[in-house]
Amino acid sequence: MNIIIVGCGKVGRVLVEQLNEAGNNVTVVDINADRVNDLANRYDVMGITGNGATHAVLKEAGIDEADLMIAVTGSDERNLLCCLIAKKAGDCQTIARVRSPQYNADAPYLKEELGLAMVINPEYAAAEEIARVLQFPSAIKIDTFAKGKVELLKFKLPEDSPLCGMTVREIGSKLHCDLLVCTIERGDEAYIASGDFRFEARDIISIISEPKAAFGFFRKIHYKAKPVNDVLIAGGGDISHYLCTLLEESGISATIIEKDPARAAQLSAELRDTRVIVADAVNQEILMQENIDRAEAFVSLTNLDEENILLSLFAKSVSNGKIITKINRIDFDEVIEHLDLDTIIYPKNLTSDYIVRYVRAMKKTIGTNLETLYQVIKGKVEAAEFIVKEDSALTAAPLMKLQLKDGVLVAAIFRDRKVLIPRGNDRLQRGDSVVIVTNHLGLHDMNDLLQ
Residue 392: what pLDDT? 82
Q: Look at residues 300, 322, 318, 320 and name the one whose alpha carbon lies nearest to residue 310.
A: 300
CB atoms within 10 A of CB 14: 20
- Angle (nearest 5°) at CA 258 between 253 and 260: 150
Per-residue pLDDT tens over the stretch 103-119: 888 888 888 888 898 89
- Angle (nearest 5°) at CA 312 between 306 and 314: 105
CATH topology agreement for domains 2-120 and 139-220: no
Residue range 139-220, CATH number: 3.30.70.1450
Residue range 2-120, CATH number: 3.40.50.720
Q: In whole angstroms, what is the distance from residue 325 CA to residue 32 CA?
A: 31
- 366 has a pLDDT exceeding 50: no
Per-residue pLDDT tens over the stretch 249-272: 999 999 999 999 999 999 999 998
DSSP state of 448: G
State how beta strands 141-145 and 118-120 pair.
Answer: unpaired
* 125 Cβ contact list (under 8 Å, min separation 6): 347, 350, 351, 354
Residue 331: what pLDDT? 67
Q: In whole angstroms, what is the distance from residue 332 CA to residue 347 CA?
A: 15
Most confident of 136-145, 208-217, 242-251, 436-445: 242-251
Is residue 451 classed exposed, middle or buried when 0-12, 13-18 and 19+ CB atoms within 10 A define those classes?
exposed
235: helix, coil or strand?
Answer: coil
Q: Which residues pair with 343 in a beta bridge?
A: 324
Residue range 365-449, CATH number: 3.30.70.1450
Per-residue pLDDT tens over the stretch 288-322: 999 999 999 999 999 999 999 999 999 999 998 99
pTM for the model stands at 0.85
Domain map of the chain by residue range? Answer: 2-120, 139-220, 230-350, 365-449
Q: In whole angstroms, what is the distance from residue 451 CA to residue 449 CA?
A: 7
Is residue 306 classed exposed, middle or buried when 0-12, 13-18 and 19+ CB atoms within 10 A define those classes?
exposed
403: helix, coil or strand?
Answer: coil
Tell me what the mean pLDDT of segment 1-27 comes to.
90
Residue 368: what pLDDT? 57
Percent of the chain topping pLDDT 70: 97
* 251 Cβ contact list (under 8 Å, min separation 6): none
Q: Which residues pair with 154 in a beta bridge?
A: 141, 206
Q: In whole angstroms, what is the distance from residue 189 CA to residue 191 CA?
A: 7
Residue 221: what pLDDT? 87
Judge: domain 230-350, CATH 3.40.50.720.
yes
197: helix, coil or strand?
Answer: coil
Residue-wise DSSP of 310-377 = HHHHHHHHH--SEEEEE----TTHHHHHTT--SEEE-HHHHHHHHHHHHHHHHT--SSEEEEEEEEEE
Sorting pLDDT into bands at 50, 70 and 90, what band is 333?
low
